[in-house]
Structure 1
Amino acid sequence: MLTIKNGAFFIDDNPTFLFGAECHYFRVDPEQWRDRLLQIKEAGFNLVSTYVPWLWHEPEQGKFDFTGKTHPRRNLLDFLKLCDEIGFKVMVRPGPYVMSELKREGIPEWIIENYSEVIARTITGNLHPARLVSYLHPVFLQLVRDWYDAVLTQIRPLMEDRSGPIVMIQLDNEIGMLQWVTNSADFHPLTMERYRTFVEENRLSQSGKLLNQASDSLEKFSEEEQSLSDHFMWSEFCRMEYSTYVSHLQELVRKNGINALTVINVHGFKDLSIYSRGTDYPIGISQLRTAALLHDCCVAGDFYPGHITYDNFHDIILSTVLTACISSKEQPIFSAEFQSGRLSDRPTVSSSDMNLLTRLCISHGMNALNYYMFCAGDNPEDIGLFGTRHEWQAPIASDGSRREGYATAQDLGRMISSVHEDLVLAKKEVDTHIGFYSPYYMTETDWPPSAAVKTMIQEVTSIRENYVFDGLWRLLAAANLTYDAVDLLKEGQLDSKEYPTLWVGTTRCMEAEVQQKLLDYAKSGGKLCLSPFLPEYDLNGRPCRILADAIQIEMGNEEYGYQLVDFRGHPSTFCRVHLKMYGIPDHEIIATSKDEPQVCTALYKRIERGNLMLLGVGMLHEYQYQIDVLKEIADQMGIRASVSCTHSRVHATMRRGERGSFLSLLNMDEKPAWTQMKANGEILFDQALVQVPARSGLMLPFMLQIGTLVLRYSTMEIFQKQAGDQVVTLGLRATGESGIVCISSGWTVSVTGASSSEESMGDGIRITCTWSHEQVHQDHHILMTLNRIV
């Protein structure tokens, strides 16, 4: 049985990394299913995922086909049985929406034609431009009930608790995405009736009390304040709608006698040609956080970064930690759609992009992923939105041949499978935390269409993208300060022992409840950094100076444009905006304006048992020296990188566990990097340099228990492992001129594939492997056999 515990998946009580591949049975002829699945198996996968499109299995209302009577590719049951036979676990994704480049995003055309009353409306009453359905329309929900009853009845005998392969069911797909990309919410008359009731009852969700601070009534609001109030009320209502929709779908699953894990997935990567930025991914997190809090669902991200370089690698880190922050602590970090290709053939997604994406996410705690797409195919019976072809640059092409990405996945699969039980139990070592504030991402629609709302969205978007996402949060990642995220709207106080330091990207507005929570956190001993603005208003634009009064400074106007700020040790630091602060009697001044040295731009203040830093400076990471500035600021808060490199552009993290730890080194550059490593101030690998290959990385074991052997460290990756009481066999892979393995004493060693030498190291043995000059620029695969001395 699949269960979740302490951030990991367990299968029959064994910790397991779920390594998945998306393969659509309806896009491949049944006589090719076995070939595709065997290729997936050969690559090291243990999970297969597929959509089950409603429009494909119920092309006419009431006429279902799951056994291939009307078309052989509708034989869902035989495909699932074949998955079981070959030894896969399966995630099924029956919608109602599946997207997947299908017409109507997978909703049957007969619904749109025959039940137009279920289509969402614009604010003017017209049909929604995307013909999006109104999720909670009673007619649509009845049609969904009929669909779920039909499909779930078919797959129920194949569920895991009936000895079948299906372990997860995804509920719908990317809920809220169509509303976001069209900037048009659902204003159906029935939706608006529910909204009016929501407003009248002031029924606010557990996401936070966003409105009506203190005892103000709506009548007292100015026109501008009213429009802002309406915007956040509407945004909160939409999130409750999504949560209610998830409730309906989950209830249908349970009523059909299925107790498997349910999944909801988060959208949000924005296609910008070669790069697909993650700056909007937190919008999807904001849209679905209420559903994540209220339901026992696994939250999974959809990660499509396009080309990965040093300039955008932080997008992946942030998407990973933000997905985790709205999830329960028991839930593993999971990506239900993990880029292994791309819809169009341009730009090309290289195998190195696939490699870096996988390694980055695993290094930051991900314990399950599903490559999308892994198998290409075609669209039968004109169901494809972009025509017949559906190649997706997939590692397995539609003709069954293998593209470059297949070998990459296979290499990663071997590495993961060799250590996965220990890997999923190892937790990422965290240096600090960032605060996620959902209201700053309630911007997917600009309703009501007022000047105040439009101005607020423009300002918030500019601040969060430039000075927070690509500024503060990126600089932390570039400085190799490893962080997790904290959802600031979750109930309860912020524990300063659990989160000793916290960085919060701020605008001028923040609700009173959260301002007070942050102040209480600092008073209780936490070290808090606010940047780049000091909140002085609530979300409705009314004065709210809880944090400002605590700092007790006089604020002047901020300066935009090309600004220079003097930090201690870093004069003339370039920034795009800085605050002006005056009257600072008992604060430690961190930075001043270069043009006006009497003007403070950043300060540090003692507040009871803790500290509050106001970093009134907006820096994008435009210059490498800004990393040093950030490190000095972090040092002021007592933060130092637990893992550090001598090479400035190698990204390093450590996952530590009782059964073994793993050091990940990532190199996004086009040439190899040599680096020495430190962990908590201690030089690793006996001061040896490690070569990190270009556009790739290493995941190196530490204190790994393998049977009765302790692998103290290795500068080579493990891709094969067999352990007995007396004999241990390791397959190792490395680049560079040599590789080192250090083991506990009491073993004899033989090495195949390289020259080797041994050296006693106290109660351990250090084995150095070398290869010929001709092999220096190649990957090296060696086999090490260790026999215990009896």
Structure 2
Amino acid sequence: MAGEVHYFRLHREDWGDRLDKLAAAGCDVVASYMPWIVHETADGKTDLTGGTSEYRDLVGFLDLAAERGLLVIARPGPFVMAELKNEGVPFRIYRDHPDAVPLGWDGEPAASATLDYLEPGYLADAERWYAEVMPVLAERLVTVGGPVAAVQLDNEVGMLSWVTNTPELTDRTLADLAAWAERTWGRAGSIERYGADPGDTERWASRWRAGGTDGGSEQQQLALHHDIGAHHRDRYARYLMRLRDVAMQHGVDGVPFLINLHGTDAGRGRTFPVGISQLSKAYAGVPQTTSGSDHYIRDLTVENVPDLYLMNAFMAAVHDADQPVTSLEFEAGTGDYGEDLSWLTSPETAELKTRLCVAQGNRLVNYYLFAGGHNPPLDEPVGDGNDRIAFTGERHGFAAPVDPEGRLSSTYPGTVSAVRAVRGAEHLLAGMDEEYDGVVLGYVPDHYLTEYHHPDSAARRSQVAELERYRGMGPRDILVRAMLLGGYSFGAVDLSSAELDPAGPAVALATPPVLGRSVQDRLAAFVRAGGRLLLHGRLPVADDDGSPYTVLADALGVRSAGLVEGTPQLFPSVRATAWAGGQPEVRVGMLERLTGAGKPLAVDIADGSPVAVEVTVPGGGRAVVVACDYPCHLDFWRVLLERLAVRRRIIAEGNTPGLVSTSTADAAGQRLLHLINVAPVAQVFTLTTDGMTLELSLGAREGLMLPVRVRLDDAVLCWSTAELDGPGDGSTLLLRRAAGSGSALIETTRNVSADGDAGVSRTDQGWLLRWPAGAPGSRLTVRLS
């Protein structure tokens, strides 16, 4: 449990206070960027000891963290963002290496501070920066008794190019792309695919910078755009692997390297998988390396709780068994980033998001930004209006739980409560993984290869819009929302590479008409071998380059008979057929009429055409195709999943939508039930799982982690309606009381006693503890004698 504190934005005399407040919140790790732009002096030298400015005393800060008993997550860039000028890269880099400034569409220079990561001049200087900072970190690694426990490589690589729609199309990059294309498609294949010869330098460059709009076919345009993204992913991986190698050359080894993933936008996480798609080649299956989320989604509500769940699931889908999910920028604070009071996040939000993330296996949470500070002046004025290291003004981090002046904000107590909840069960969480119901969500990396579209390419704009509308969570985000709020817990699978087990879980996939041929082939083989598939959105009929490809539709025996879109004058409506128990007709925003095989599950009321069908595939497989954006009626989606034999392990239906339930377990069978109420009203419900029934309540926007079959020395805590509040000592059980009354059951041959107002009685099942309402948050100690 970590918090971000920027030493370079604080006076030395304030470091201790901020670290003490971090420790008081329960965190045991401090994270910080280590900006190149701060540590490089005006004469081009590097100061890491504070000899020229207190803001540069990285060594002093690391040593103070060690004195305070805190571990350190080091984030030395070269890019760091953090509202710094040039995203943390010194101004001179842009003067010294003009060729590193990318050229984008039509040869126009990049509109952001991004650089060509592999341009030799920039890369050489970046390696010199690493040669300065990495030995300082290497001397203080945990492997040699120091505080540095992990090192992040660069930051949000590829984000600046994406958000400005500026692919890197310099002469050097295009020459590299030509070589990549020849290796991938051959020379003749490249000419056919793109309408340009990799050996014709001038034509090759003009073709790519025009985005294929200077002649040729629509298919060539789409192939060209697709492969710009694919080639960029290869380049990002080479860059990050080079940084990793340089760090290791300078002694940083034996600790994790971290890759920070970007992608949330406007309080939502629908675009976050773009970052996974961009960067996973740099870390998927790479030893000693893992990824971390970077999310800003404001309050957690029924709207965006599926976003965060999907983000964690998709991150895990590309990891191997040794790569835990982490969060390197876990939004904390009020959300008032513009200091204009346009948004104030509710105080419990950090706790709700923390609870969801640890339930999904996050092993590291870094609250960003934990403490604010101020932006010192640049060594040399540049005449940009404030001449400081950052563009936020003098103060920075005004939304943080600890503000720039060191005062605690309204969100500090919620952060403390979140950390306490994790600390209470961390001895179990560290060895646990999330349990799933019999379904996984399909992740298709190429559905998120949508960063770039040439302004004049109507075909590409249309394709991107279609991908964005249907991918991931489905039209109107309904698929994931219905599954999560309907009481299902599920992982994800990378459909570009995973081997699908027909005897394993069902696969749920939200898909546009475009679905790459390798993924279609894999899913077709899956259902033909007996697998179960839920498709939501449009029937896949095209490869990534837009060329017709219907292998999956052919396997299902289903065809599209046309799309119907809603308009202000047309209200497409569907009715579920008899299997759903007499559901009323509902209006939808789109529907696709289907023909061919399958039992109708829903029909277009205009002409009776099926818009959802159930298919039995030769070979024993089954599929449900839902080609409309049916509303998020939870009962409808539950019954639909039952058609594919997907059943909930945990039945916990509250009095209003908004209750999320899942569980984690370890190899010994110990479990934690994770219950999160994102609704603005309290929930009273009966929870049933594994033959156990509990009567529970959750206040508005509250969460619980309830222990099940947790072992003590010679006893078992069968269940408790209160959370654990620490590991105890084998003969002592520590519980954290909630506001209401509570109870617990312990199996043991020893006597059991409890302090305070808790009563203990022996029953046929074991020792039953009961305590009345009151004293929320207090610790209840139970003793075995």
Q: TM-score, normalised by structure 1?
A: 0.89
SS at match of 1:302: strand
- What are the superposed Cα offsets for residues 245-266 of structure 1, whole Å, 9 maximum, x if unpaired? 1111111111112112111011
Q: Give me the whole-angstrom Cα distance separating, in 1, the residues matched to 2:515 and 2:233.
A: 19
Alignment counterpart, residue 737 of structure 2, candidates 733, 742, 759: 733
Match of 2:257 in 1: 262
Q: How does 1:221-370 map to 2 (within 5 A)?
A: 223-259=217-253, 260-271=255-266, 276-293=267-284, 295-296=286-287, 297-341=289-333, 342=335, 343-345=337-339, 346=341, 347-370=343-366
Alignment of structure 1 residues 103-252 onto 2, 5 Å: 103-202=85-184, 223-252=217-246
- 65-74 vs 701-710, greater mean Cα deviation: 701-710
Q: Could you tell me which residue of structure 1 aligns to residue 754 of structure 2?
A: 751
- Evaluate the alpha carbon distance shift between residue 203 and residue 340 of structure 1 in structure 2; reply closer, same or farther with a 3 A threshold: farther
2:442 to 435, 448, 461: 435
Structure 2 Cα separation of the partners of residues 607 and 130 of structure 1: 54
The structure-2 alpha-carbon separation of the partners of 1:466 and 1:75, relative to structure 1 and needing over 3 Å to count, comes to: closer
Among 621, 635, 645, the residue aligned to 1:610: 621
- 1:470 maps onto 2:480 in alignment: no
Letter in 2 for 1:564: S
C-alpha deviation, 1:49, in angstroms:
0.6
Q: Measure how far apart 1:222 and its partner are.
A: 6.1
Q: For 2:738 and 2:677, how far apart are their aligned partners in 1? A: 15
Runs (5+) with no aligned partner, structure 1: 1-18, 205-210
Which one of the candidate residues 346, 361, 373 is aligned to 1:377?
Answer: 373
Matched, 1:661 2:643: no
1:371 deviates by: 0.3
Query: Could you tell me which residue of structure 2 aligns to residue 541 of structure 1?
Result: 546
Task: Find the partner of 1:579 among 592, 595, 598.
Answer: 592
1:34-113 alignment, distance < 5 Å: 34-60=16-42, 62-113=44-95
Is the 1:752–1:782 Cα contact (8 Å) retained in structure 2?
no
Cα distance change, pair 418–233 in 1 and its aligned pair in 2 (3 A):
same
Show CA shifts across 1:729-758 (max 9, x none).
41422122x1101112334344334x3333
Amino acid at match of 2:92: W
Query: Quick check: 1:552 aligned with 2:552?
Result: no
Between the aligned partners of 2:125 and 2:706, the Cα distance in structure 1 is: 52
Question: Which secondary structure state, in structure 2, belongs to the residue aligned with residue 477 of structure 1?
Answer: helix
8 Å Cα contact 1:120-1:132 kept in structure 2: yes
Q: Could you tell me how far apart the structure 2 residues matched to 1:489 and 1:406 are?
A: 42
2:771 counterpart residue number? 769
Q: Which moved more, 1:760-769 or 1:104-113?
A: 760-769
Residue matched to 1:787: 784
Distance change in 2, residues 1:598/1:506 (3 Å): closer
The CA deviation string for residues 613-635 of structure 1, in whole angstroms up to 9 with x for no partner, is 222222353xxxx2111111100
Structure 1 window deviating more from structure 2 (147-156 vs 346-355): it is 346-355
The Cα offsets for residues 341-396 of structure 1, whole Å up to 9 and x where unpaired, read as 24334311222111111112122222221000111111112111111101342112
Task: Give the residue type in structure 2 aligned to 1:433.
Answer: V
What displacement does 1:289 show? 2.0
Relative to 1, partners in 2 of residues 1:294 and 1:466: Cα closer, same or farther, differing over 3 Å?
closer
- What does the per-residue CA deviation read over 1:384-414, in whole Å, with 9 as the maximum and x for residues that have no partner? 1111101342112222222232222222222
Q: Which moved more, 1:633-642 or 1:448-457?
A: 448-457
CA change 1:552–1:353 in 2 (3 A) is: same
Distance 1:337 1:40 in 2: 16
Equivalent residue in structure 1 for 2:431, among 398, 406, 425: 425
> For 2:282 and 2:260, how far apart are their aligned partners in 1?
11
| CA deviation profile, 1:175-217 (whole Å, cap 9, x unmatched) | 111011111121222111111221222279xxxxxx979x976
Residue deviations 1:564-617, cap 9 Å, x none? 222232241332222212343xx3322222222254532322331321222222
Contact kept? 1:64, 1:150, Cα under 8 Å: yes
Contact residue 670 and residue 694 of structure 1 kept, 8 A: yes
TM-superposition CA deviations, 1:516-565 (whole Å, max 9, x none): 10011112221011222221221222221211222224431122213222
Change over 3 Å in CA distance of 1:757–1:179 after alignment to 2: same
Q: Secondary structure of 1:168's partner?
A: strand
Amino acid at match of 1:473: V
- For 2:80, the aligned partner's letter is V
Q: Contact 2:747–2:767 at 8 Å: present in 1 too?
A: yes
Structure 2: 5+ residue stretches without partners:
197-214, 378-387
Asked if structure 1 preserves the Cα contact closer than 8 Å seen for 2:682 and 2:699, the reply is: yes
Q: Is the 8 A contact 1:676 1:683 kept in 2?
A: no
Deviation at 1:462, TM superposition (A): 2.0
Check 1:386–1:99 CA distance in 2 against 1; reply closer, same or farther (3 A cut). Answer: same
Between the aligned partners of 2:127 and 2:592, the Cα distance in structure 1 is 55
**Aligned residue identity for 2:574:** V
SS in 1 for 2:544: coil
| Cross-structure match for 1:10 | none
Please show how residues 14-53 of structure 1 align to structure 2 within 5 Å: 19-53=1-35
Over 3 Å counting, the alpha-carbon distance change for 1:399 and 1:582 in structure 2 is closer
Partner of 2:709: 703
What letter is aligned with 1:369?
A: V
- TM-superposed CA distance for 1:482, in Å, is 1.0
Measured in 2, the distance between the counterparts of 1:530 and 1:212 equals 33
- State the partner residue of 2:608: 597
Within 5 Å, give how 1:643-658 maps onto structure 2: 643-647=650-654, 648-649=656-657, 650-657=659-666, 658=668
Deviation at 1:469, TM superposition (A): 6.5
Q: TM-score, normalised by structure 2?
A: 0.90
- Find the residue that maps to 1:556 and give its secondary structure: strand
- More strand per residue: 1
| Cα distance between partner residues in 2 of 1:294 and 1:418 | 32
Pair 1:732–1:465, CA change in 2 (3 A): closer
C-alpha spacing 1:578/1:49, structure 2 compared with 1 (3 Å): same
Q: CA deviation at 1:54?
A: 0.2
Superposed displacement of residue 477, structure 1:
1.2
The one-letter code sitting in structure 1 at the alignment partner of 2:573 is: L
> CA deviation digits over 1:411-440, x for unaligned, max 9?
222232232121122221111101011111
For residue 763 of structure 1, report the CA deviation from its aligned partner.
4.4
Q: CA deviation at 1:69?
A: 0.6
Classify 1:741/1:240 alpha carbon distance in 2 versus 1 (closer, same or farther; 3 Å): same
Superposed displacement of residue 683, structure 1? 4.1
Equivalent-residue separation in structure 1 for 2:488 and 2:110 (angstroms): 45
* CA offset digits 1:422-464 (Å, max 9, x no partner): 1122221111101011111111111484221111112222223
Secondary structure, in 3 states, of the residue corresponding to 1:723?
coil
**CA RMSD, aligned part only?**
2.3
